[in-house]
Structure 1
Amino acid sequence: MVLRGAQRPRAYEDVADDGGELVEERPPFPAAAAPLAQPEQGSLGSLDRVVRRSPSVDSARKEPRWRDPELPEVLAMLRHPVDPVKANAAAYLQHLCFENEGVKRRVRQLRGLPLLVALLDHPRAEVRRRACGALRNLSYGRDTDNKAAIRDCGGVPALVRLLRAARDNEVRELVTGTLWNLSSYEPLKMVIIDHGLQTLTHEVIVPHSGWEREPNEDSKPRDAEWTTVFKNTSGCLRNVSSDGAEARRRLRECEGLVDALLHALQSAVGRKDTDNKSVENCVCIMRNLSYHVHKEVPGADRYQEAEPGPPGGTAGSQRRRRDDAGCFGGKKAKGKKDGEMDRNFDTLDLPKRTEAAKGFELLYQPEVVRLYLSLLTESRNFNTLEAAAGALQNLSAGNWMWATYIRATVRKERGLPVLVELLQSETDKVVRAVAIALRNLSLDRRNKDLIGSYAMTELVRNVRNAQAPARPGARLEEDTVVAVLNTIHEIVSDSLDNARSLLQARGVPALVALCASSQSVREAKAASHVLQTVWSYRELRGSLQKDGWTKARFQSAAANAKGPKGTLSPGGFDDSTLPLVDKSLDGEKLGSRDVIPMEALAPDGYSTVDRREKRARGSASAGETSEKEPLKGSGLAFHS
C-alpha cells in the first residue's frame, strides 16, 4: 500500500438544499481539510519513493503492479494496529466520498461509520483529525441515512467530546462543520441540543463573539471574530433553533447565548461588516428565538394585555399625522420642540428594573429594535434582511405589553421608512417579511395612520407586479402577494383615511384586475376582501362611482374570488418561522388573532429558520449545513 502523488488537494465548502439546510454558493475553503497523507509522513514514505522512480522495462515486468484498494480493504485499514495506516485510510475515505453518493452509501452498508466514530476518541491527534474529516464528507448531502447512522453509533457525543478536547483550529473546524451537516436532519436537532448546546455555546459562541460576562470597565469591548469555527457553530445552532418550542426554550435559557449573539451583531454593525455568513446565522437564530416569545418565555403571562377592541374612529387622525410626520422625514409642527414631539409620539412607561436585562430578556427589549433597523439599513444580504424584518415581525406580534413597546419604538426610531423602502426589494422573501412586519406594526393606531399614508403606493405597486412583473421572472410568489394584500386589508380596516389613500394610489383597478386574472384562489380572495372593505365606506362610494365603479363590479369581483370557504382575511398579527406559509383566509374566523403554527413554516420565511428554505439585496439562506469536501486527488494504491 502506498500513496500515489504528493499533491495536497484543495477543499471546498458546499451546502445542500436538505430539509432544514440553506443553499449557498460554493466559496473556496482553506486547503487544510484532512488532506491526503504526504509521502514523508508515516511508514509509507519509502514505498512511495519506490513507486515514483522511473522503472525500466525489465523491472516493470519483475516488480509487482500497484492498484487502488477496494473499499472493504480501506475500511479494514481503519482497524490496522499501525496508527499512520489508520490515519491514511481515513483520509483516503474522505477523498473517495467527494461528490460520490454511491461510495457514501457503501461505507454505511459496510459498517464503516462506527469505525470512524470510534476513531474520534483515538489517542493520536492525527487519527482523530482524519476520521473527523471523513465523517464531515460522509454526513453531507440530501441522503439522511448516513446522518442517522452516525447518530445511532454515538457520533454526536463523540464529536462534542472531541470539540471540548481539541485545541487545534483545523480539528475544531472539522468538528463544527460535521455538526452543522448533521443539524439539517430533523431527528438530530434535539440530539445536538442535548449533547452539544452547552459546549458549542461556551467553547465557541461566547469566546468568539467578544462578549464578556464581567467586562473590565476600563477595557474597550472586544469585537467578534468571524472565524470558520464561529460560522459553522452559528450555522448549526441556526438549524436546531427551528426544531420547535422545546428547542427554542433550551436555546433561550442557555446562559450567555443570547447575550453573545447580540454582542456579535452589535460588533458587526459597529464595524459595518453585516453581509457575512456568520452575521446571517446570528440574525436567523435571533429571529427563531423571538418566535412566540409572547407565549413561551417564563413569566409572559404577567405582561399579557386584553385583546384589542375595535379601533377608534378616524377623528383626529389628521392631527396625529401632522404630529408624526417627522417619522417619515417630514417637518415638525410649528413651534414644537423635540421634547414636545416625543410626548406626542408616546411616552413609553417601561417596567422599572433593579438590574440590567440579560439572557432571553434581551430578545424583546425595545433597545433591540435599533440593532435590527441598523441591519435593515446597512446589509445587502437578502437572508439577513429577511431575518431582521422577521424578528421585528415576531416581536410586534402578540397581545402583550412588550409588543406594544416594540411597535412604538419602531416608529420612534424612524424604522417605518426603512421598512417601506424595502418593499421595493427585488427579493420576494424580503418583501414578504417586510409586508407582514408592517401588518403587525399597524396594530398601533399611529403606525397604521403613517403606514397608510406613506406605504400604500409601494404596497399597490407590489399588487401590480403580481400581474405584470417589472422584469421577466420577477413575479411575486403567492405567499408574498397574499401577505401584501392582507397588510393592505389591515391598514384600510377601520380607517377611512387609509382607504382614501388606497384610492389615490390607484389600488382599486389593480385589485379588480387581480381578482379577474389571478390563477390563485388565495390571491383573488384576499383582493376581494380589500375591495369589500373599501366599498363598506359610504363616504367613498361617490368617488368610486365617479371613477366608473359600481357595487355590481365589486360584488362580481368577490363572487369570482369566492372559494369553498368565503371567510375574510384574519385581522391581527402574524409571527413567523422560516419560511412563511401564510395561513391566509381559509377556515379562519373573522378577527382571529391566531398566529401561523411553526409546523406550517420552514427555515427562512416567517421568522424562524427551518426546512423548506429557498435562495433569495444578497446571498444564501437560513438554516444551512456546512459541507467541505476535498477535490479529487491522488490516493492509496495496493499492489497485486
Structure 2
Amino acid sequence: MLQHQFPSVQSNAAAYLQHLCFGDNKIKAEIRRQGGIQLLVDLLDHRMTEVHRSACGALRNLVYGKANDDNKIALKNCGGIPALVRLLRKTTDLEIRELVTGVLWNLSSCDALKMPIIQDTLAVLTNAVIIPHSGWENSPLQDDRKIQLHSSQVLRNATGCLRNVSSAGEEARRRMRECEGLTDALLYVIQSALGSSEIDSKTVENCVCILRNLSYRLAAETSQGQHMGTDELDGLLCGEASGKDAESSGCWGKKKKKKKSQDQWDGVGPLPDCAEPPKGIQMLWHPSIVKPYLTLLSECSNADTLEGAAGALQNLAAGSWKWSVYIRAAVRKEKGLPILVELLRIDNDRVVCAVATALRNMALDVRNKELIGKYAMRDLVHRLPGGNNSNNAASKAMSDDTVTAVCCTLHEVITKNMENAKALRDAGGIEKLVGISKSKGDKHSPKVVKAASQVLNSMWQYRDLRSLYKKDGWSQYHFVASSSTIERDRQRPYSSSRTPSISPVRVSPNNRSASAPASPREMISLKERKTDYESTGSNATYHGTKGEHTSRKDTMTAQNTGISTLYRNSYGAPTEDIKHNQVSAQPVPQEPSRKDYETYQPFQNSTRNYDESFFEDQVHHRPPASEYTMHLGLKSTGNYVDFYSAARPYSELNYETSHYPASPDSWV
C-alpha cells in the first residue's frame, strides 16, 4: 500500500505503520525485513506534503532506540540521510521540519552514522535551522527570537543531533569548528537565554554540551595551537610557575628576569593578540566566553547544563596553551572562583566532579591556587568521605570518580604551596585522606586510594609542617605509602559496583610533589598529547521529547534520566532518542536506548565508549517560572557569592560555611 497510486492511501499506510511499530521492536525489525524502510524513504521525495508527514513519522519510530541500530543503518543504506536533507531544504512546513530533524536526532545516536550525518547534514542544519531559529544575524526570526527559542522544537532537535555527533572524534570536531556561523549561533542562543526561564531549557543544554565538546583539545587540534612555538611556551610556563621559589631561580636560571612577555595577561587591561572582536572558531577560546559560562553556572538549575558549562571551563583552562593561561586569569577577573566553589555544595555527583576538576585546572594559575587554597579548602575537604562526621551522607554517596577528582584538585592546590598544605591540615583533611589511603581497597577503589596517598605524600614533603603533623598524632607512616603497596592493592578484588579505571594520578608535569618540580622542557610535551584533566562530552543518545507517536495530536513525553559517569573526565549529558506518547491511559512501555560516552582517561590518548540504558517516562510539567527559579542577585557576602536557587539540590552537609574577612585578593 506504500506503493499505491493514490497519495491518500500511501499516507494512511505510513501512518498505520507508525502506529503499529510504536514501542514494539519486533514489528520494527519485521518492517525492515519486508523492505518497508526503503519504501518509506522513497516517499520522502513524494510531491504531497501529507505523505511526507506520515513517512517521516513512521521513520522516526522505526529508528528509535538502541535496539534498532540495524534500522538506522538500513535507513542510511537506503539513501535516507540525503533524502531527509533534500526534504529539509525544500519544505516550509514547520511540522515536517520538526519530524525530519527528529529522525536525524534518532539516527545520530548510532556510532556508525555520526560521520555520515556530519558529512551530509552539518551545513544544512546550521544554515537552514540553527542560524535562522537562533536569531543570530539579521534573520526574519530575530525580532521574536525569545519566543522562537522557547517554542522551536526544530532548533531543539537540530542541536540535539549535533550534540550527539560532536563526540565522534577529532575529525567531527574539526568540521564543526570550521562550519561557518555554527559557533556564533550556539553562543547567541545561550546569551539570549540568560536571565530568562529558558536558561534551563533542553536547547540551551544541547548548545552548552556542543560547545564543551568543541572546546576539547583546542590547543592540539587547531592551527593556532599547533603554531605555538617552544619559546612562547617556555615563557608562559615561566609565568605560570612564578612563586617564591621561582622568583629567585626562575624556570631556566636567570632567564626569568627577561622582559615580561605580552602574552602573560593577568586579567587586567587589554588582551594581547586581540585587536578585533573574536568571531567563529576564535570565540571558542576567547576569554569573553568565560562570562556566559559563569552566568550559566550561577543561575541555571539544569544539572546537565551545569556539568556542561563547568566541563567547558575545565577544557579551556587545561594545559599551558596561552589561551588557557588567559582563561584562568579571566575566570579570576570575572569572580568565577567563588561560583565554582559554591557548586561543590550541590547534591549532584556529576556536577561536583566536573566543578572539582575545573578548579584543579584553574589552580594551574599561581594566583588562583592561592585563592582556592585560602577560601575553598574547607569545601573541598568536606567533599571527601570519612572523618568524624558520620552523618555526611552526601560524601558517602559520591562516586569514586568524584572523590578522585577532589583528591587531584587538593594535590594540585598544595603542590609548591606550603600555606595551602597547612590549610588542608587545618580543615581536617589529613584524617579523611588517611582513612581513604589506609582502606586498602576495602571501601574505595585503587584509583581513589592512590589519589589520596599522593596528596598525603606531597604534604609530607613540607618539612616545616611535620612538627604540626606529629603534634596532631600523625607519623610518617600515615603520609608515605610505598608504590609497591599501592600496586598490590590495585590487584586486589574490588567489591564496589563501579568498575575502577586506570588511576588518573600518574606522575606528570602537572602532578608532582614539591620535591620533584617539573621543568618547562618536560611540559612542552603537553602540546603533542592530550592535556591533563581535559574532557570531551558524550554524544549521549536522545530519548527526549518527540520521537514515536501515533498521530500528530498525540501528547509529548519528556525524558528524565540520571547519569553516572564511569570516568572522572567523561561527560555524559543525556540526549536521547525522541519519542511521543500514545493517547492512552495505560503506562508507556519502557524502551531502552543508549547513552554513548566518549571518555578520555587522564594522561592517556585512548577513547572508550560506554553504554547505559535510558527509559521512557511520563512528561512532568515544569512548575511556573516563579516557583522554578528563585535566583537572588549576585551579591557578595563575606568571601562567597550569595546566589542560592530554590531549584538547586544543595547538599545538606553538617558544617557551617565560614566567611572570611574581606581581603584585597579579589575573591569576590
- Report the TM range for the smaller structure's normalisation: 0.7 to 0.9
Distance change in 2, residues 1:430/1:612 (3 Å): farther
The residue number in structure 2 matching 1:21 is none
The residue number in structure 2 matching 1:311 is 241
Q: CA deviation at 1:82?
A: 1.6
Deviations 1:546-573 (A, max 9, x none): 111111232358775444889xxxxxxx
Q: CA deviation at 1:543?
A: 0.4
The residue number in structure 1 matching 2:538 is 609
Distance change in 2, residues 1:626/1:552 (3 Å): closer
Q: CA deviation at 1:433?
A: 0.7
Deviations 1:5-54 (A, max 9, x none): xxxxxxxxxxxxxxxxxxxxxxxxxxxxxxxxxxxxxxxxxxxxxxxxxx
Match runs of 1:319-330 below 5 Å: none
SS at match of 1:167: coil
Partner of residue 536 from structure 1, selected from 461, 479, 488: 461
Distance 1:599 1:180 in 2: 31
SS at match of 1:424: coil
- 1:105 aligned partner, one-letter code: A
Q: Indicate the RMSD between aligned Cα atoms, in angstroms.
A: 3.4
Match runs of 1:278-317 below 5 Å: 278-303=203-228, 305-306=232-233, 308=237, 311-314=241-244
Distance change in 2, residues 1:363/1:107 (3 Å): same
Distance 1:294 1:445 in 2: 21
SS at match of 2:579: strand
Distance 1:368 1:436 in 2: 19
Distance 1:221 1:315 in 2: 57
Distance 2:580 2:143 in 1: 39
- 1:396 aligned partner, one-letter code: A
The residue number in structure 2 matching 1:510 is 432
Distance 2:21 2:272 in 1: 57
Q: Structure 1: which 5+ runs fail to align?
A: 1-76, 318-342, 567-579, 634-640
Is the aligned partner of 1:194 residue 2:114? no
Distance 2:488 2:364 in 1: 28
The residue number in structure 1 matching 2:329 is 408
The residue number in structure 2 matching 1:19 is none
Does the 8 Å contact 1:311/1:494 carry over to 2? no
Deviations 1:281-337 (A, max 9, x none): 0000111111111121232234464253693444799xxxxxxxxxxxxxxxxxxxx
Distance change in 2, residues 1:344/1:229 (3 Å): closer
Match runs of 1:163-312 below 5 Å: 163-212=88-137, 222-223=145-146, 225-226=149-150, 227-303=152-228, 305-306=232-233, 308=237, 311-312=241-242
Does the 8 Å contact 1:211/1:260 carry over to 2? yes
The residue number in structure 1 matching 2:16 is 92
SS at match of 1:273: helix
SS at match of 2:402: helix
Distance change in 2, residues 1:160/1:256 (3 Å): same
Distance change in 2, residues 1:600/1:610 (3 Å): farther
Q: CA deviation at 1:268?
A: 0.3
- 1:93 aligned partner, one-letter code: L
Q: CA deviation at 1:211?
A: 0.5
Q: Which moves more between the two structures, 87-96 or 354-363?
A: 354-363
Distance change in 2, residues 1:295/1:496 (3 Å): same
Match runs of 1:38-117 below 5 Å: 77-117=1-41
Distance 1:149 1:204 in 2: 26
Is the aligned partner of 1:371 residue 2:296? no
The residue number in structure 2 matching 1:575 is none
Q: CA deviation at 1:133?
A: 0.2
- 1:519 aligned partner, one-letter code: H
SS at match of 2:241: coil
Does the 8 Å contact 1:389/1:433 carry over to 2? yes
Deviations 1:550-603 (A, max 9, x none): 11232358775444889xxxxxxxxxxxxx9776035868658669989999xx
The residue number in structure 1 matching 2:403 is 481
Partner of residue 350 from structure 1, selected from 245, 252, 271: 271
Distance 1:528 1:595 in 2: 29
Distance 2:54 2:395 in 1: 45
- 2:400 aligned partner, one-letter code: E
Is the aligned partner of 1:493 residue 2:423? no
Distance change in 2, residues 1:286/1:205 (3 Å): same
Q: CA deviation at 1:175?
A: 0.5
Distance change in 2, residues 1:510/1:587 (3 Å): closer
Distance change in 2, residues 1:465/1:415 (3 Å): farther
Q: CA deviation at 1:628?
A: 2.3
Distance change in 2, residues 1:621/1:609 (3 Å): closer
The residue number in structure 2 matching 1:50 is none
Is the aligned partner of 1:417 residue 2:338? yes
Q: CA deviation at 1:429?
A: 0.8
The residue number in structure 2 matching 1:585 is 505
Does the 8 Å contact 2:446/2:490 carry over to 1? no
Distance 1:493 1:234 in 2: 41
The residue number in structure 2 matching 1:576 is none
Distance 2:35 2:140 in 1: 49
The residue number in structure 1 matching 2:567 is none
Partner of residue 622 from structure 1, selected from 570, 573, 577: 573
- 2:284 aligned partner, one-letter code: L
Distance 1:288 1:344 in 2: 26
Q: Structure 2: which 5+ runs fail to align?
A: 248-263, 492-499, 513-521, 543-560, 564-570, 585-668
- 1:516 aligned partner, one-letter code: K
Distance change in 2, residues 1:104/1:459 (3 Å): same
Q: Which moves more between the two structures, 621-630 or 170-179?
A: 621-630
SS at match of 1:281: helix
Distance 2:474 2:396 in 1: 30
Distance 1:149 1:474 in 2: 46
Q: CA deviation at 1:354?
A: 4.9
Distance 1:193 1:461 in 2: 44
Deviations 1:422-464 (A, max 9, x none): 1111111101111111111111100000011111111111112
Distance 1:352 1:108 in 2: 56
- 1:92 aligned partner, one-letter code: Y
Q: CA deviation at 1:472?
A: 7.4
Distance 2:274 2:395 in 1: 52
Distance 1:507 1:262 in 2: 40
Bigger radius of gyration among the two: 1
Distance 1:79 1:260 in 2: 41
The residue number in structure 2 matching 1:125 is 49
Distance change in 2, residues 1:214/1:120 (3 Å): closer
Deviations 1:324-351 (A, max 9, x none): xxxxxxxxxxxxxxxxxxx996535523
- Relative contact order (alpha carbons < 8 A, sep ≥ 6): 1 or 2 greater? 1
The residue number in structure 2 matching 1:53 is none
Q: CA deviation at 1:182?
A: 0.3
SS at match of 1:476: coil
Q: CA deviation at 1:623?
A: 5.2
Does the 8 Å contact 1:499/1:534 carry over to 2? yes
| TM-score, length-scaled by structure 1 | 0.74
- 1:410 aligned partner, one-letter code: V
The residue number in structure 1 matching 2:476 is 551
Distance change in 2, residues 1:597/1:461 (3 Å): farther
Distance 1:482 1:187 in 2: 33
Q: CA deviation at 1:264?
A: 0.8
- 1:133 aligned partner, one-letter code: G
Does the 8 Å contact 1:469/1:475 carry over to 2? no
Distance 1:196 1:273 in 2: 27
Distance 1:263 1:471 in 2: 40
The residue number in structure 1 matching 2:314 is 393
The residue number in structure 2 matching 1:335 is none
The residue number in structure 1 matching 2:81 is 156
Distance 1:141 1:457 in 2: 44
The residue number in structure 1 matching 2:597 is none
Distance 1:596 1:468 in 2: 45
Distance 2:9 2:242 in 1: 78
